[in-house]
Amino acid sequence: MNTKKNFENTQAQNYPFTGRRGFKAIVDCNSFYCSCERLFRPELDNKPVVVLSNNDGCIISRTDEAKKLGVEMAGPYFKAKPLIEKYGVATFSSNYNLYGDLSWRVMETLRILLGKENVEVYSVDEAFLNLDEFAEKDLQQVALTIRETVEMWTGIKVSVGVATTKVLSKVANHLAKKNKVATQCCVVLDTKEKIAKALQDTPIGEVWGIGSQYAQKLIEMNAVFTAYDLTKKTAEWAHKNLGGVVGLRLLKELKGEPSNQMKEELVVKKMIATTRMFGSSVKTLGEIKEAVATYVSRAAEKLRRQKSAASIISVFIVPKEQNNATYFKHGPTVSSYTTLPIATSATNELIKPAALLVDKLYEQGRIYKKAGVILSGIVPDATIQANLFLPHTKNCNRKLMDMIDNINFSQRDDIVKFATSGTARNWKMRQELRSPRYTTRWNELFLVK
């Protein structure tokens, strides 16, 4: 028998796989933000592309071609700019309107294929799937069909990983993305031999739930270097060294024992936040109030969309901390909150307490870089009683808010807004390289000549 094959079979026998308990899959969009940009710029296929974070600060998405050139993920744009310009890397500012719409199309495609109850949206570019209804022998073809259908219907390329648990499916997906040509972007771990080999080929830092710092800690302990090494550890060891119950679940999942079940989509959020980095440094109280009022408006829209009201509003602002004449870094976040007498979703009723909180937090002479608003204490707005001591017209804020929301949704760009949100908005996020919002703005629709 071939020595390598014999080694793999031996390792597989040692791997404590518990057998088939139903299969899960994860569908992960390949370099999602870059794929969205390529969809409307087909000449960029097989060319290096990167997408930048808010205010064009860091690189948050890159294609395989950009990676090969040495462009670092999460690295500052200004550091990578010489390399980007040298090789003509296509560069885009974040276009969240476009990405959000295409994400919805990908997820809706999966819901149509498998049924809403079998799809768990995990992030903007990832979703877990329940494949219990499919025979084990058909899983490879099922994965290929899902990949091909998503690409055909949406234009977005995806990788599919299939296994008996969520963690193992993430391992499979990692291998699918790592070897796109050989695997056709689909990897199914359906045997003990395949699972053992996959775990041996997966560095511990690539395991879902283990960050880079934790991975370094495990390596320095000279205990765990690969995912396979981790499966050799006991439950007691995992509980002690991997964060208690969370680590224990991770170990079980790697051994093929499902511990993270499929979750229903969270329709009603328990907390809503809107935060942004300023496009330029802000010094005045008025500018910060304008920004916070704008963020309150955004959060209130989300609140009304899920037919809820909030009873607690929190505001935070982040100053720059000056160490010397030329170097700045973020200072400690300062925040405060207030509890409202009556839960509300009316923007004007939320802006007023938010502005008062800004008055408390603001310090004259400091430079600020970021602000945010968090709404919590969320309840269904149908449970809020009207005030008997106010005239009927004063109790109709919800109808007024609905009218404003409808106008803004149809006309876009906050055509109706509260004066406290400002008009110039010099603090707005910088997006100097943003592509058109092809699918969400009539005046930016893609033109075919």
- SS3 of 264, please? coil
- Higher-pLDDT residue of 124 and 13 is 124
For 17-54, the pLDDT digits (tens) are 434 458 999 999 999 999 999 999 999 999 999 999 98
Residue 90, pLDDT score: 96
With respect to residue 307, please indicate whether it lies within any of the assigned structural domains.
yes
Domain-embedded: residue 143: no
Q: Which residues contact 323 (CB under 8 A, 6 or more apart)?
A: 329
Q: How far is CA 303 from the centre of its chain?
A: 20
Within-domain flag for 98: no
Kindly report which listed range (171-175, 210-214, 294-298, 437-441) carries the lowest average pLDDT score: 210-214
**Domain with 374 in it:** 272-421
Give the pLDDT of residue 291.
92
- Is the residue at 316 inside a domain? yes
User: How far apart are the C-alpha atoms of 362 and 303, rounded to whole Å?
Assistant: 26
Amino acid 258: pLDDT: 87
Is the pLDDT confidence value at 213 over 90? no
Residues 400-420 have a mean pLDDT of 82
Which one has a higher pLDDT value, 439 or 399? 439
- Region 56-84: mean pLDDT is 93
Asked if pLDDT for residue 325 goes beyond 50, the answer is no
Read off the pLDDT of residues 139-159 as tens digits, 9 standing for 90 and up: 999 999 999 999 999 999 999
Domains contained in the chain, number: 1
* Span 281-322, pLDDT tens digits: 888 999 999 999 999 999 999 999 999 999 999 999 999 876
Q: What is the Cα–Cα distance from 148 to 212, expressed in whole angstroms?
A: 33
Instruction: Point out which residues pair with 336 in neighbouring strands.
Output: 315
What is the per-residue pLDDT for 196?
Answer: 94
> Is residue 211 in a domain?
no
pLDDT mean over 330-334: 75
Q: Could you report the per-residue pLDDT of 85-132, keeping only the tens digit for each?
A: 999 999 999 999 999 999 999 999 999 999 999 999 999 999 999 999
Q: What is the CATH number of the domain that holds 316?
A: 3.30.1490.100
DSSP string, 185-236: TEEE--SHHHHHHHHHTSBGGGSTT--HHHHHHHHHTTS-SBHHHHHTS-HH
Residue 191 falls within a domain, yes or no?
Answer: no
Across 372-390, average pLDDT: 82
Strands (E), 81-134: 90-92, 119-123, 126-130
Q: Report yes or no on 65 lying in a domain.
A: no
172 in any annotated domain:
no
Q: Is the pLDDT of residue 11 over 60?
A: no
